[in-house]
Amino acid sequence: MGFNELPYGPSPAVGEALHNAAGRVQSYGSPHCDGLRDAIGASNGIDPEHVICGNGSEELLDVIARVFARPGDEILITEYGYIQFALTANRVGADLVKAPEQDFTTDVDALLSAVTARTRVLFLANPNNPTGTLVDTRELARLADALPPQVLLVLDLAYGEFATPEYCAGVHALVQGRENVVVTRTFSKAYGLAGARVGWCHGPDWMIPLLYAARGMGTVNALAQAAAIAALGDMATVQTRVSEIKAERARMSATMQALGCSVLPSHTNFLLLSPPDQNPDTTEAIVEHVFDTAGIIVNRTREAGLEHFLRVSVSLPAHNDLFLGALEAFLAGASPGTATATGS
């Protein structure tokens, strides 16, 4: 429960598509992911010509940074922004600038104050990982309108499906009529295809050829394309699974809070929580305890300011119960031989 994956295996439709694609594996897949882009366009109400797919959205974040930022440029993110943004900035040799957040949530005014003449890219995940929080589309529109034209606003919607369809549509609408806004999406989370590595980017017309020029030719393999198309063709399964995860998210959060933990409001398939004493040593001990007693791996957030938190992915009810049981036992000091909630 440490990587924000979906706990379900491939749906029958995805399994069948993978099986069929395997029988044609001697052939290359479509380098421009034509069928997949058509399916994405139809499913999201956007022009497939404004879409480029990648080997996970991670590849596209990297491509964007390589196209738009050079050593000496600045890449702007929020205080607790997705760690990959910092790694991407590092890879291109750009200077990383972090704008403070408010209540572990993006602060648009702080971002605007942090923009300089050297800012080239602003990476912003909504909902964000690891906080799980989001800002509404009105605030995002205010940000997009106030940014100077040389700053590319990258809106990472990796967890958008766990917010609402309206939120996703509202974020995509920000690309229309603007030249400096792109949205990235992934099949790794709500679609349950993390291992297939498929992501996509929705951007303005002029930008797509530049992104293709920086992306490898066949980075989205034929099996991955087939799986993603099949997943889009079975939205009922995606929606059912997302609903189950959201219901479990609410149940887990309520239980954790009843145990005295602080839990950030999550719009994702994970929860960020801290123990009642907010002590990083206690957090560390909980992480060890859930592994030792329940075999569960969670993510120990180590970013500055988040040291007392841990991040746990919402899984199947039985797995969630195992986690909650281990957490409760730890907080009750009920497990002999493990550290107690004082974390000393």
Q: Determine the longest span between alpha carbons in the chain, in angstroms.
A: 63
Smallest Cα–Cα separation from 131: which of 188, 184, 97, 81?
Answer: 81
Strand-by-strand arrangement of the 262-263 sheet: 262-263, 270-274, 310-313, 299-300
Instruction: Return the range that interacts with ligand PLP (CB under 6 A); candidates 44-52, 87-95, 169-177, 186-194.
Output: 186-194
Instruction: Return the range that interacts with ligand PLP (CB under 6 A); candidates 50-58, 99-107, 145-153, 247-255.
Output: 50-58
Smallest Cα–Cα separation from 248: which of 297, 299, 316?
Answer: 316
Does 106 interact with ligand PLP (rule: CB under 6 A)? Answer: no
Minimal distance in Å, beta carbon 144 to ligand PLP?
Answer: 19
Report 318-337 residues binding ligand PLP (CB under 6 A): none
- Which residue from 14, 158, 207, 261 is in contact with ligand PLP, where contact means CB under 6 A? 158
Q: Strand, helix or coil at 122?
A: strand
For ligand PLP, give the closer residue by CB, 188 or 255.
188
Does 266 interact with ligand PLP (rule: CB under 6 A)? Answer: no
Instruction: Return the range that interacts with ligand PLP (CB under 6 A); candidates 55-63, 107-115, 216-224, 324-332.
Output: 55-63
Smallest Cα–Cα separation from 65: which of 96, 105, 34?
Answer: 96
Does 4 interact with ligand PLP (rule: CB under 6 A)? Answer: yes
Strand-by-strand arrangement of the 95-99 sheet: 51-54, 199-202, 181-186, 152-156, 119-125, 74-78, 95-99
- Which residue from 125, 152, 174, 175 is in contact with ligand PLP, where contact means CB under 6 A? 125
Q: Name the DSSP letter for residue 30.
A: P
Name the token pair of 249.
């998210």
Total number of residues binding ligand PLP (CB under 6 A)? 14
Binding mask 270-309 for ligand PLP (x = CB under 6 A): ----------------------------------------
Give the residue closest to ligand PLP by C-beta: 56
The total number of residues written for the chain in this structure: 344
Smallest Cα–Cα separation from 180: which of 148, 214, 209, 137?
Answer: 148
Binding mask 73-92 for ligand PLP (x = CB under 6 A): ---------x-x--------
Contact yes or no for 268/127 (Cβ under 8 A)? yes
Contact yes or no for 231/192 (Cβ under 8 A)? yes
Minimal distance in Å, beta carbon 270 to ligand PLP?
Answer: 9
Q: Which residues are near ligand PLP by CB under 6 A? A: 4, 56-58, 82, 84, 125, 129, 156, 158, 186, 188, 194, 199
